[in-house]
């Protein structure tokens, strides 16, 4: 029996969430994504592994944070895995996680940017959303807000536009809007590379 890569990712996120609830602050300090620059105490909390590990952490006091991320991961990831296979699904997901982290690090290095840790699978999830839209552009999607059916390409485009607007204007501070956009870039690059290989383009 084949094990679903999506289910493995969800199980890993849930397991890490339970560990967070148990260990708390020290675990978050080591595995969340921290800015590159030193904190006010002169110490740098950034470690290279955080560009991946942060995506398995979620706000331990907010069950909706992990809940909505895992729901979206299942909705979009299952279809991508069924169409492209587990290894391509994982390649797309982790490419999105890494590019989301790089985008967040870049934004946090700008003058005046808040010094804070970043956690959550949202970068990878937004990457899967874009990959889903590229693979199934005319598949109907019904968002929670507003609950209006629309083609996947339009849904992904609107979401990207909203994230860009919120990021530029600073609306809904505390949410890594540019990390979400960075995740979309990662998945776009992966899907485009698949298409080039399929056409035999080097």
Alpha helices of the chain — where are they, by DSSP H?
5-23, 25-31, 50-53, 63-84, 86-108, 122-135, 152-169, 177-198
d(Cα 36, Cα 56) in Å, to the nearest integer?
Answer: 20
Q: Which residues contact 148 (CB under 8 A, 6 or more apart)?
A: 142
Encoded tokens for 178? 């540019």
- Written as six digits, the tokens of 136 are 């199934």
d(CA 43, CA 55): 23
Residue 202 pLDDT > 70, yes or no?
no
pLDDT in tens, 2-39: 789 999 999 999 999 999 888 877 888 899 999 988 87
Reported CATH class of domain 5-198: mainly alpha
Say how many CA atoms lie within 13 Å of 52 toward its Cβ.
9
pLDDT recorded at residue 201: 56
For the stretch 165-195, pLDDT in tens is: 888 877 666 788 899 999 999 999 999 999 8
**Alpha carbon distances (Å) from 65 to 14, 47, 61, 84, 108:** 12, 24, 9, 27, 22
Q: Are 16 and 32 in contact (CB under 8 A)?
A: no
Domain ranges, ordered by start, for the chain: 5-198
Contact call for residues 170 and 111 (beta carbons, < 8 A): no
């Amino acid at each position: 029996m084949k094990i679903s890569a999506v289910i493995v990712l969800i199980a890993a996120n849930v397991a890490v969430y339970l560990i967070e609830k148990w260990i708390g602050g020290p675990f978050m300090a080591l595995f969340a994504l921290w800015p590159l620059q030193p904190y006010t105490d002169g110490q740098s909390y950034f470690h290279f592994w955080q560009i991946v590990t942060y995506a398995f952490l979620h706000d331990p006091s907010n069950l909706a944070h992990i809940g909505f991320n895992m729901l979206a991961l299942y909705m979009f990831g299952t279809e991508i895995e069924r169409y492209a296979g587990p290894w391509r699904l994982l390649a797309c997901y982790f490419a999105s996680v890494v590019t989301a982290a790089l985008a967040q690090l870049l934004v946090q290095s700008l003058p005046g940017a808040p010094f804070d840790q970043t956690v959550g699978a949202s970068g990878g999830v937004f990457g899967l959303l874009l990959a889903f839209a590229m693979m199934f552009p005319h598949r109907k999607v019904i968002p929670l807000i507003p609950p209006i059916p629309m083609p996947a390409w339009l849904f992904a485009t609107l979401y990207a536009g909203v994230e860009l607007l919120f990021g530029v204007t600073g609306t809904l501070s505390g949410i890594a809007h540019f990390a979400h956009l960075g995740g979309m870039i990662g998945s776009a690059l992966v899907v485009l590379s698949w298409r080039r290989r399929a056409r035999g383009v080097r």
